[in-house]
Amino acid sequence: MVTTNSPPNRAWQRADALVVPAAVLAVFVVGLTSNVLRKDGLTAIDSPISNWAIAHRNGTLTPLAITISNLGGTLAMTILASLAFVTFGTRGHRSEAVLVAATGLGAWILVDGGKQLIGRPRPPAADQIVLKTNLAYPSGHSLGSIAVIGILALLLIPRLHHLVARWIAAIAATVFVAAVGLSRIYLGVHWPTDVLGGWSLGALWVILCLIGYYLTSDRFGRAIAP
């Protein structure tokens, strides 16, 4: 988002540094999805964790979980991404506006396509606080929140001048994304591996979008300041 006079290959070097994390996440996503389809492997954690969350519901946590879930939902994330897109665009940061739009739209496609492709049912309706009847994997709230919050954090945190402010912003973004995913398990509308799938696939998508942004930024002599 910040125009710099970086060396010509600087953005390419940043893109190269993201290849390994992307590969690791891709392998994890494939493995986890395979477990979900075969109902083995990591899916062994689903019932124990879900049952523990259900057993620890109370009058304080339940409204908090509902609020956090709503804040990380499709409507809230769409509004946030749209506001960021308009703000970046009107201030002349067109590459950043495109990056936000591509990340948000891609996340929506991944959620919808993933659910239809995998076809995993939700947890039993009797365990759900907020009844959901569509498909479960990956968790749309988890994927959407990590995609939108993640890309905005990567674009905005470098603009903060103080290291402490950067750390606070990074921790706040991480805690929010984690809380959204955990709220879905608590509310009984997702299995834990649905949430893991959403987080990992969303993080992978953010990295791929960022790689594309870096390569495009290098072409036009732009890059995010370190």
pLDDT tens across 72-108, in order? 999 999 999 999 999 999 999 999 999 999 999 999 9
172 with 157: CB under 8 angstroms?
no
Cis peptide before 21 (omega within 30 of 0): no
The two structure tokens encoding residue 226: 């370190």
Instruction: Give the Cα separation of 185 and 67 in Å (integer).
Output: 14
Nearest to 81 by CA among 109, 107, 100: 100
Of 11 and 174, the structure prediction assigns the larger pLDDT to 174
pLDDT tens digits along 43-59 = 999 999 999 999 999 99
Instruction: Give the Cα separation of 140 and 117 in Å (integer).
Output: 14
Instruction: Give the Cα separation of 214 and 44 in Å (integer).
Output: 39
The full length of the chain comes to: 226
Instruction: Give the Cα separation of 206 and 209 in Å (integer).
Output: 5
φ/ψ of 36, rounded to 5, equals -65, -40
The two structure tokens encoding residue 58: 């109370």
pLDDT tens digits along 164-181 = 999 999 999 999 999 999
Nearest to 199 by CA among 185, 214, 213, 187: 185
CATH 1.20.144 fits 10-220, yes or no: yes
Tracing tokens 């509902």 back to the chain, one arrives at: 66
Of the chain, the percentage scoring pLDDT greater than 90 comes to: 85
CA dihedral 107→111→112→113, nearest 10 degrees, is: 90
**Per-residue pLDDT, 226:** 41
Record the pTM: 0.89
169 with 156: CB under 8 angstroms?
yes
Query: Quick one: CA dihedral 93, 95, 97, 99, positive or negative?
Result: negative
